[in-house]
Structure 1
């Protein structure tokens, strides 16, 4: 009986703390959009920009005040019929390239985008060179008798 009361008290306390945390953490943002397309654009834009304060959290998921300001600005720019590119350019101009999860290709990011391609090409070249070296090494390591025997087996298989 005492255990039941203790469990009930713990359950009530947990529920109260959960409700209080939800209320204190902030309200749900309610935004009115002219169309479902505009709402989708808003969600895409807010999920593609990083919060400057939260390091690796999108502004759409962050509770930081600066993320709230950024969401407000995205919403305002959408209401002003700005294109996605114009909105992203505005936000980058105001907060820097850091907010983009996918950095743009420019003079400062050639190395960032080029290293994976260079590593892939270098790996393919290495594989080709290793295969050639192994093939040449296996043929060169055969003695004259072994080579003659191999040629005989190959020719016998080709003959009907």
Structure 2
């Protein structure tokens, strides 16, 4: 009896957990398959302003639901993808884009990592070239040679 009650409680907890974590599903009707594909691509390309690293398609926040609805309405109005992206950027800033545009404000984002890697390579080359290799310091002394001979010889 005790085992049965534990099983029922575990099953009830599992069912409520699944319900609580289920994400809402937006149901939109599209005129054609191309518009549906555009909606899916744009909702994956645009970032939710509230969620730090989720796109509109994956986010459960109310603002993401509003933006998906707005995206749907803009597509139904016949707006081009670039017009929709420009509208979202004007309204929410560059943060809404997963891949920020290359501009004066985003040069560091786009070119900073490459410059840092290049500087690191230059620093390593300079350090290696400055340090002269002295063959005398690499050579073993007679005492070290004798120890090595003793270690490697069969007993």
TM-score (norm 2): 0.72
Give distance in 2, aligned partners of 1:90 and 1:42: 15
Give distance in 2, aligned partners of 1:101 and 1:91: 12
Please say if 1:107 is aligned against 2:104. Answer: yes
Identify the structure with the greater helix proportion: 1
In structure 2, the partner of 1:64 is 61
Please say if 1:3 is aligned against 2:8. Answer: no
In structure 2, the partner of 1:158 is none
Q: Is the 8 A contact 2:51 2:61 kept in 1?
A: yes
Please say if 1:55 is aligned against 2:52. Answer: yes
Please say if 1:42 is aligned against 2:22. Answer: no
Alignment of 1:1-160 (within 5 A): 1-12=1-12, 14-15=14-15, 17-18=16-17, 21=20, 27-133=24-130, 137-138=132-133, 141-142=134-135
- Quote the offset at 1:50 in angstroms: 1.6
- Quote the offset at 1:89 in angstroms: 0.5
Alignment gaps of 5+ in structure 2: 137-155
Distance change >3 Å, CA 12–CA 118, structure 1 → 2: closer
Distance change >3 Å, CA 27–CA 133, structure 1 → 2: closer
Distance change >3 Å, CA 142–CA 42, structure 1 → 2: same
Give distance in 2, aligned partners of 1:27 and 1:100: 23
**RMSD (Å), alpha carbons:** 2.7
